[in-house]
Each structure stands twice: as C-alpha cells, then as structure tokens.
Structure 1
Amino acid sequence: MKRTEITLADGRELIYFDERDDAVRDQPDRRELPPPPPASQLRYDPLTDEWVALAVHRQTRTFLPPADQCPLCPSTAQRLSEIPAPEYAVAVFENRFPALSGRVVEEPAEITPFTPVRPGRGRCEVVCFTDDHHSCFADLPPSRVRTVLDALADRTAVLGELDGVEQVFCFENRGVEIGVTLHHPHGQIYAYPFLPPRTRSLLAAARRHAERTGGRNLYADVLAAEREAGERVVAANEHWTAYVPAAARWPFEVHLAPHRPVPDIPALTDAERDAFGPLYLDLLRRFDGLFGTPMPYISAWHQAPVRVDRELGHLHLQLFSVRRAADKLKYLAGSESAMGVFINDVAPERAATLLRAA
C-alpha cells in the first residue's frame, strides 16, 4: 500500500491509500475555500455525566447533492471536489464540517456552576472507500476491504497520538433512513477528547467481570459462549465470528469479532486483516438479501481507549439496521430515546436464522 499526503486549499490534510506503488498523487487543490471553522463547544451535562458537542457550523454542511455535484467523487476539469485526483482507491481527509477539530478557540469556563465548558478538541475525518459514486461497500473486492482496513489502522494509530484524544471511533452510515447526507460510499472517523457513554458502560461491565473472575476478558468470554451455543452465529472463519447478540437492541444486529482478543484495528495481524474482508462482505450481502433491497445500516468499530483500560477492551464491529421488516423501520421512540431502554421487535434467534438463510 502506498501512502501519500497532500494539503487541500484551506489547509486540511488529505491522504491517499493506493494499491499501486506507481500511483502519482501530485494534483493540487485548485479551489478557493474559506478557512475551516473553529472547533465546536463541549458542554457538560451534570445530570447524566456526559459531554454534548455544539457544532452550529454543521447546519450548512452539504446535504444530499445530485451525483454530478458529489464532493467525494474525483475532481474533473469541469468540477472540483474534495479529492483533487482524477481517480483514487481509498482517500481520507479532515471533514470540512467537523464536530471536533484542533482549531480551538478560547471558551468560557462554564455556562452555570454545574455546566463546565471546554473546546471540542479532536478530529473528524472522512474515509472514501472507492471513487465509484454508484457503488457500495458490499460491492468492493476483498483486496479493497483490506486497503480500507489498513487505512483505518493507520488513522487509528495517528489520531490516537494527538494531544487530548481518548478514543478513536471508525464507522459507516448507509442509507437515508440512517441520516446519510452523501450517497457516495464513505465512512467517518471521530477522535474523541473524552470516553463516550457507550464505551464507559462497556468498560464498567468489563471491569466488574475482571474483578470477579481474576482478570478474565468479558467480551472474550461472551464470544466463546456464543460460538459454543451456535444458535445465533451467522457466519465464521478461522479468525472471525459473526453472531447476533443474545440481547440485541436492534431488529437486525450482528457483532463481528476476532477470536483473538486485541484492543484495536492496528493490533490485528496480516492474517486477521485478510480474513476480515470476505466474511464482512458476506455479512453485508446477507443484510441486503433479507428484504431484497439495500439495507440501511450503521457499521461501528468498538476499539479500546487509547490511554486507559486497554486490557479491558476487545475489538469488535457492530453492524445493525433500523429496518425491522420490508416496509417498516425501527424508531427510537419514548422508551429508547427518553429512558435508554430498547424494545426489540425481532428475536435475536429469529434474526440469526433469517440472516443465515439470506
């Protein structure tokens, strides 16, 4: 894999990850762009012990442009985009409308004595999986999935070294039902300056389990139990298993986890990275085959924090959809949105059966 860094017209970084060593990436960004916005403001919610980001500049971000105006397609003589090259394999660049960034401004110390304020220091990046606007991740060959995984490993390692970053989160949103604002196949990376609520909850449970069992890894034990039970396993190979969690929150939710406990993507071996692609592509095609239509989904990598409790983590990919039937979506209504208590309409065992048959 060849890695090439360039600077866009407004000073943001773009990195090409090429599968050919002879790829030349010297095309300049010929646009005239305003300076990137400053970092968002983080406000602490004392009632939930959580941080909320206020990124008001994101109101003006690009929203569902037509294909001939897509900012993630390669640049042409007639139209300049975020990618100056006329073609590319995988490209990663700092988001033009970031929720978190290193361009911090001075903030007041607090809103009230109970609500501290801090700059939204961190980083948000866009990961373009292909230059083909009309493709999707499930259409990629395993070799391209490997390139994407290597790019995510690179960015996880680099972003984890930034001052103040506590966790690196890689994910893909697909489908307008999820809230996608650009149709071009792409994912995102958030480098958080705090541990998100989901991570804190996972770590707390893992810590309690380790204390009870003399240091055993909770996720590794759960994965072993699911592999032994087999009822909710959708697919597997030598290095990875895909299974529906016994307490799945979403109608169709699958965890894809390596058999060897590792904290993050950079820790995966070459063999594990090679084995991931075929199984993940099989899983995505099963999702699309469920109802004979492209499945909206969120694909989220759960990685260990970069500074604390790394021994408690176990890398895994959470893939889930809001679609519960061919013509029905799962909405986060009162119980889920207000109280955080999920009510699933599809039994995990039924979901696993349908996915195996898809």
Structure 2
Amino acid sequence: MHTQPLGAGVLKRSTRLADGRELIYFDDPDTTLGRDRAVDARTLDPRPATATMRQDVLTGDWVSVAAARQNRAFLPPAELDPLAPQTPTNPSEIPSQYDVAVFENRSPSFGPALAEAFGDAPAASDPPRGLDDLAHLGLGRTRTSVGRCEVVCFSPERAGSFGTQSVTRARTVIEAWADRTAALSALPGVAQVFPFENRGEAIGVTLHHPHGQIYSYPYITPRTTRLLDSIDRTSPDLFQRILEFEQAGPRVLLRGEHWTAFVPFAARWPIEVHLLPHRHVPDFAGLSEAERDELAPLYLRLLRGVDALYDTPTPYIAAWHQAPVAVGRDTVRLNLQLTSPRRAADKLKYLAGSEAAMGAWIGDVPPETAADRLRAAVEGVQL
C-alpha cells in the first residue's frame, strides 16, 4: 500500500480492489485507525467494457450509453450498504474501516480510459481524438466514453450527508477533492473533472450512505461550453465582476475572508446558492491551505442552513464547477452551484415543458425572498 502525506495532516493510502479498481483511503489528521488495511478478498466479475458515447447532431452534445449502470445498487437495506466497511455478512466495496474513502465506480458512465493506465481494465476501442474531433458534427458519430468515475465516501456511517460531518472530516474530504482533481486531470483523455454530491431520493439518489462522486469527462461539458462563450462575449474577469456585483447586493448569505456564498441574481431553482472564492483559482487543486481551511466550516454552515429551512432534510445537488483541464484556466473560476427543487415543505419544482423541452426557465421564488429565508436559517447554525 502506497502512503503519502497531504495538507492539513491528512494521510493518503492507495491500494487496489479485487478486480483491479483503485481504492484510496484518506485518513483524518486525528484518525484512530491503524496503518494496516484489509485486502479485498472477494471474487468479482471482470470489469465491464468502457461505455460508448453518441453525438446528438442537433446540439453537438455527446451522450454516454452505459448499459452496465442498469446493474448498480438501488436503495439496498442498511445491512447490505455497499459503501460501508466490509463485514462477514456484507461484502461491500471497501474492505477496511475508514475515515474517507475514494474508489473507482464499479459501473462507470465514463472510462476506464486506457488499459495500461488502469491495470486490468479493458482498453478503449475508439477513444476521442481530441477536442477538435469531438466538436465536429456528423450523423451517427460514436466514440468510446473514456474518462473515470469515482465514488467519494464521506464517512463509514450509513446515514447522513456532507453537511452532517465534523469540520475535521469536511476538511479531509476537501483534501481528497483536491488530490483527486489533480490526479484525474493528469489522466490521458480527460478534459474536465467534476466533483458533486446528490442528496435525497427526490434527486434520484440510489444509496443513502453519505457520499459524493467525481466524474472525469473526455469532453468539455455543455454547461461549461456555454460559460466559456459568455466569458468570450463579456470579459476575462467575468467571475470577479459577478462576485463584486453580488457582494454589493441583497442576496449574500455568508462572507468570509476567502469565500462568499449568495443566491444568484437569476436563480432558476427555488433553492439555489453559489459559492465563490475571492481570488481566481481554477479548481480544488489550486486552493491554498487557508482557503481550504475556511471552506470546511463555511460549507458546513451553508448546508446545515439549507436543511434548517424545513423539518426534514432538503434534497439537493451540490455541483463543484471547475475549469477544464486545458482551456479557460485563467478565466473559469472554481465555484459551487447548489440547487434544490424544494419550493415548500411538501412541494417540489418539476421540470415541465418549458424547462425540460426548451431550456426556458420560470422561477417560482424571487431570489431576494429565497436569500432572506436562507440567510436567517444560516445565521442560526451552530457548528
């Protein structure tokens, strides 16, 4: 097992699962765990072939068709939690007790990329030939969905979310995000790295264990492509201008030395919060120690404030947008976009005809009203 010290006293330990997938333990600085970790002794099926993506010639978007995902776990009982540490009756994905664990998804949407880079993984048969190749439009175009998908387990506990973790544990996860962003960005064929957390069955969560994911795409995603176009049409310092505009307005929720959280001017969702660092940084790997240290408690306050709005936990998608690997590094700033469809205690916003079919959004809650409610909830949070 390879061991490496990281920032904030976090220790990284790398190993392999029974089928060759990478497993990485990130130990808290105050961990009570020992150095040794159990070996994954399961007998597993061979890893599935890398998925294929197809181009929608009407939009230029690439759609990954990953049939192996049909076999992934769906709301298993707690005693068969695949993200909990293994026991004699639960042959889960993680053989040892852990603080934070990251491993390659067993049923990935993207990847593995190349056989020589991923141990026993099957090779990609028709990988993309660069961003120019993917930008070309044509009927019936396909490419292998190279990349990588990882699962990030925030805790060995079976219930909770990022927001239920301690400040120390949150800081460990941030260190893991930074480490994985750097490592995945260096893989052949990866164009963009995206850490995120889906929380709640209303979002489509299929495992209740507190966890997130990291997708590594072989292309620049449609959302980021539109962002790059907006930067080209306005100015390279667009994110700094947005930050100053929001800091001077009525929608700020939290403001620290290094970060500001706010409800955006043109929020689409009933609950929508953006979080920006005060200096330009393209991704988690570029954050300073001070920025990572402040992010841990500030992000926890934000998530617990969202949950304090109602008597039951709020479903959300916490999406960490990062600059692509090779373009926009000086203009696209790391930012969180947290969205929830919850528009009342017992009501959800569904994407109906205008939003789903035309991409034309209609907001249900004025952003200033949402900001007032969220600010009051966040102010009441005690860590």
Task: Please provide the CA RMSD for this pair.
Answer: 1.7
1:188-203 equivalent positions in 2, closer than 5 A:
188-203=213-228
Which segment is superposed worse, 23-32 or 244-253?
A: 23-32
* Per-residue Cα deviation, 1:272-300 (whole angstroms, up to 9, x for no partner): 00100111111111111111210000000
Contact 2:160–2:208 (Cα < 8 Å) also in 1: no
Q: Aligned-pair distance for 1:107?
A: 5.1
Whether 2:170 is the aligned partner of 1:161: answer no
Which of the numbers 263, 268, 274 marks the counterpart of 1:244?
A: 263
Q: Aligned-pair distance for 1:108?
A: 11
Whether 2:276 is the aligned partner of 1:257: answer yes
Whether 2:14 is the aligned partner of 1:14: answer no
Give the distance between the partners of 2:271 and 2:311, measured in 1 at CA: 15
1:1-358 equivalent positions in 2, closer than 5 A:
1-20=10-29, 23-85=34-96, 87-102=97-112, 103-106=122-125, 114-210=139-235, 216-229=236-249, 231-358=250-377
Q: Aligned-pair distance for 1:77?
A: 2.8
Give the distance between the partners of 2:34 and 2:215, measured in 1 at CA: 28
Aligned length: 350
- Residues 121, 237 of structure 1: CA spacing in aligned structure 2 closer, same or farther, 3 A cutoff? same
Give the distance between the partners of 2:239 and 2:263, measured in 1 at CA: 14
Contact 1:166–1:193 (Cα < 8 Å) also in 2: yes
Give the distance between the partners of 1:193 and 1:55, measured in 2 at CA: 15
For structure 2, the residue ranges without an aligned partner over 5 or more in a row are 1-9, 113-121, 129-136, 378-383
SS at match of 2:188: coil
**Aligned-pair identity (%):** 54
Give the distance between the partners of 2:75 and 2:259, measured in 1 at CA: 35
Q: TM-score, normalised by structure 2?
A: 0.89
Contact 1:160–1:167 (Cα < 8 Å) also in 2: yes
For structure 1, the residue ranges without an aligned partner over 5 or more in a row are 211-215
Q: Aligned-pair distance for 1:143?
A: 1.2
Give the distance between the partners of 2:273 and 2:127, measured in 1 at CA: 43
The amino acid across from 1:98 in the alignment is P
Give the distance between the partners of 2:36 and 2:60, measured in 1 at CA: 45
Give the distance between the partners of 1:40 and 1:202, measured in 2 at CA: 27
SS at match of 1:10: coil
Give the distance between the partners of 1:294 and 1:331, measured in 2 at CA: 18
Give the distance between the partners of 1:47 and 1:115, measured in 2 at CA: 12
- The answer for the alignment partner of 2:131 in structure 1 is none
* Per-residue Cα deviation, 1:8-60 (whole angstroms, up to 9, x for no partner): 01111100000257732431001110011111111111100110000011111
Contact 2:258–2:278 (Cα < 8 Å) also in 1: yes
Give the distance between the partners of 2:238 and 2:126, measured in 1 at CA: 40
The amino acid across from 2:45 in the alignment is P
The amino acid across from 2:168 in the alignment is S
Q: Aligned-pair distance for 1:105?
A: 4.3
Give the distance between the partners of 1:190 and 1:104, measured in 2 at CA: 19
Give the distance between the partners of 1:54 and 1:150, measured in 2 at CA: 32
